[in-house]
């Protein structure tokens, strides 16, 4: 009979030990969610409209180096969004029509792009951006009555600062 009592006590201790371990795990679970939220990818909303690029916010902190850009084409024509590491738009090489010559930009400074997309659409992409200054622009050219119009030359660019 003494063996049976000891056996029951062992089972009860094991059960309490398991419950205590579960309680600790549950107690720490909210902290795991808070850590994930703290490391969420910063987002910049980009509005593309003839002939402007608006960033909200224009300065973003991205210690991990990843920034999500959400581009909304609120214009009435195709737009694209190119991201280049540069001090400002004037630092970028342009051709005779006023478009950025992307082939003349060092590859390390070409961060990527969201290819052209239609009016009313929204596209997003995560870019690996280290602290610095970037130019976000539309580099589309179009023919309007025999004249080539460069969206970039018309002022369709903005500066994004990553800290």
Q: For residue range 102-141, what is the model confidence (pLDDT) as tens digits?
A: 999 999 999 999 999 999 999 999 999 999 999 999 999 9
Burial of residue 114 (CB within 10 Å: 0-12, 13-18, 19+) is buried
Q: Quick check: 31 pLDDT over 60?
A: no
Written in H, E and C, the secondary structure of 56-88 is ECCEECCCCCEEEEEEEECCCCCEEEEEEECCC
Q: Report the relative pairing of strands 43-49 and 52-56 from DSSP bridges.
A: antiparallel
Interval 61-92: pLDDT, tens = 776 689 999 999 999 999 999 999 999 999 99
Does the domain formed by 43-162 have CATH 2.60.40.420?
yes
Residue range 135-157, pLDDT digits in tens: 999 999 999 999 999 999 999 99
């Amino acid at each position: 009979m003494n063996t049976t009592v000891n056996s029951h006590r062992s089972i009860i201790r094991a059960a309490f030990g398991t419950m205590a371990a579960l309680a600790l795990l549950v107690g720490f679970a909210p902290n795991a969610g808070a850590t994930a939220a703290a490391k969420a990818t910063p987002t910049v909303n980009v509005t593309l409209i003839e002939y402007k690029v608006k960033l909200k916010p224009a300065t973003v902190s991205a210690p991990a180096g990843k920034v999500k850009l959400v581009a909304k084409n609120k214009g009435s024509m195709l737009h694209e969004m190119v991201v280049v590491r540069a001090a400002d738009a004037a630092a970028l090489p342009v051709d005779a029509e006023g478009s950025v010559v992307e082939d003349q930009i060092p590859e390390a400074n070409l961060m990527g792009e969201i290819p052209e997309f239609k009016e009313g659409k929204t596209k997003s992409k995560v870019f690996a951006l280290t602290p610095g200054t970037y130019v976000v622009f539309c580099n589309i050219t179009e023919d309007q009555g025999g004249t080539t119009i460069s969206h970039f030359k018309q002022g369709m660019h903005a500066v994004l600062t990553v800290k």
